[in-house]
């Protein structure tokens, strides 16, 4: 008889944030599973200090944690200093543990307990939750996303060795997990809800600028890993096209975006958009862009936007931000250097690959299939 599971899902993003891997996988867990989605507290967000239902079988709660990834640079620096101070982190972890004990009543009699960790800074929960099984879903390179105080790095290493299973989203992350102490990381990449981008179901959005100008677009967070110099060079080289950027940006990137827009009238930044609007925006693109700088963080990333562009039948042009980008085949044209990237964009506009082939690529990475593998990894028999 298959066991029933209660799951504490220690997420690295709030439930109401960008709809990404945590929400896609959580909503596809078995119907008899119950999930307490534990999200980090962020300034300005609607905190849930008591469990609130956000989806069938799923309740969210908010915990205080070190905001090392905060958008505000002053807050990031403060978080780093606090994380370097033993008394501050001890007090924070004690508070997290007390909340975990309080929420321990979430568990049902007879149900097995799974701790699914995506935020290693929330692991003080584990001792209080008393999980029967721990799975670490390592989505990004956690020590490269933002500076982590050295005294907290052993917490990540202990999680890698303590977890019953470590799941990673890319080959470079698998190597990183092994270097940190994981025995046999399992690769389960990201994906897309392909039906949401089906051209037969979704009409293209009306985007700023001349409707006669083709759109080269980017959807995703705009952080330091996005090469805005490359975006500016692209806008200058193809003035007859619109360059449309969609997504949130921290203050320092907002300033750079304002300068770029002032100098290049064919560049448009729309800011963050609701999840429900993303398919129609992507459908308006002629080319999807992944203009990433190569950094230790991007070398390990498995970008959801690649699959979203493909699901809409849109070709991608990407920089060589990691070694294995050629594995994506016709779904992405890979370019090194500004001139090559601009040339690849021109070629994609003039001679795009088959939209059907792109959609077939996306369907091979549909979240339904990925979630099935992930559920087996979390809830199935362990080796």
Can you give the pLDDT at residue 64? 87
Can you give the pLDDT at residue 128? 83
Can you give the pLDDT at residue 43? 67
Q: Quick check: do 5-191+366-379 and 194-363 share a fold?
A: yes
Q: Is the pTM of this model over 0.85?
A: yes
Can you give the pLDDT at residue 336? 92
Can you give the pLDDT at residue 313? 96
Could you tell me if 106 and 34 are in contact, meaning their C-beta atoms sit under 8 angstroms apart? yes
- What three-state secondary structure class fits 186? strand
Can you give the pLDDT at residue 125? 80
E strands, the chain, in order: 5-10, 34-40, 52-55, 58-63, 112-117, 133-138, 165-168, 186-187, 215-219, 242-246, 267-269, 287-290, 316-319, 332-335
**Positions in the chain short of pLDDT 70:** 1, 43-44
* φ and ψ at residue 133, rounded to 5 degrees: -150, 140
Relative to beta strand 316-319, strand 332-335 is parallel
Can you give the pLDDT at residue 259? 96
* CATH number of the structural domain 5-191+366-379: 3.40.50.2000
Can you give the pLDDT at residue 44? 67
* CATH number of the structural domain 194-363: 3.40.50.2000
Can you give the pLDDT at residue 1? 65
Can you give the residue ranges of every domain in the chain? 5-191+366-379, 194-363
Can you give the pLDDT at residue 137? 97
């Amino acid at each position: 008889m298959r066991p029933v599971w209660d799951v504490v899902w220690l997420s690295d993003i709030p439930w109401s944030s960008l709809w990404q891997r945590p929400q896609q996988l959580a909503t596809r867990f078995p119907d008899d599973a119950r999930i307490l989605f534990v999200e980090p507290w962020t300034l300005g967000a609607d905190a849930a200090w008591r469990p609130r239902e956000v989806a069938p079988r799923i309740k969210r709660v908010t915990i205080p944690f070190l905001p090392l990834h905060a958008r505000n640079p002053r807050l990031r620096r403060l978080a780093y200093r606090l994380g370097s101070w033993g008394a501050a982190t001890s007090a924070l972890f004690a508070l997290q543990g007390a909340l975990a004990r309080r929420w321990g009543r979430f568990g049902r009699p007879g149900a097995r307990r799974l701790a699914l960790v995506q935020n290693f800074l929330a692991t003080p929960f584990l001792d209080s939750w008393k999980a029967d099984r721990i799975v670490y879903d390592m989505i990004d390179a956690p020590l490269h996303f933002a500076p982590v105080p050295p005294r907290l790095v052993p917490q990540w290493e202990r999680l890698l060795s303590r977890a019953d299973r470590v799941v990673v989203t890319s080959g470079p992350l698998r190597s990183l997990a092994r270097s940190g102490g994981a025995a046999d990381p399992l690769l389960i990449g990201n994906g897309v809800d392909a039906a949401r981008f089906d051209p037969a179901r979704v009409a293209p959005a009306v985007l700023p600028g001349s409707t006669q100008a083709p759109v080269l677009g980017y959807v995703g967070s705009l952080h330091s890993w996005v090469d805005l110099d490359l975006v500016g060079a692209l806008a200058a080289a193809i003035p007859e096209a619109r360059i449309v950027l969609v997504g949130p940006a921290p203050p320092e990137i907002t300033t750079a975006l304002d300068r770029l827009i002032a100098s290049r009238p064919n560049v448009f930044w729309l800011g963050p958009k609701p999840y429900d609007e993303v398919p129609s925006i992507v459908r308006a693109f002629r080319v999807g862009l992944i203009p990433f700088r190569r950094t230790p963080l991007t070398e390990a990333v498995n970008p959801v936007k690649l699959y979203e562009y493909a699901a809409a039948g849109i070709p991608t042009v990407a920089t060589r931000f990691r070694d294995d980008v050629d594995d994506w085949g016709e779904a992405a044209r890979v370019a090194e250097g500004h001139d090559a990237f601009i040339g690849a964009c021109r070629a994609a506009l003039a001679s795009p690959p088959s939209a059907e082939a792109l959609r077939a690529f996306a369907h091979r990475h549909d979240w339904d299939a990925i979630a099935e593998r992930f559920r087996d990894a979390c809830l199935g028999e362990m080796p």
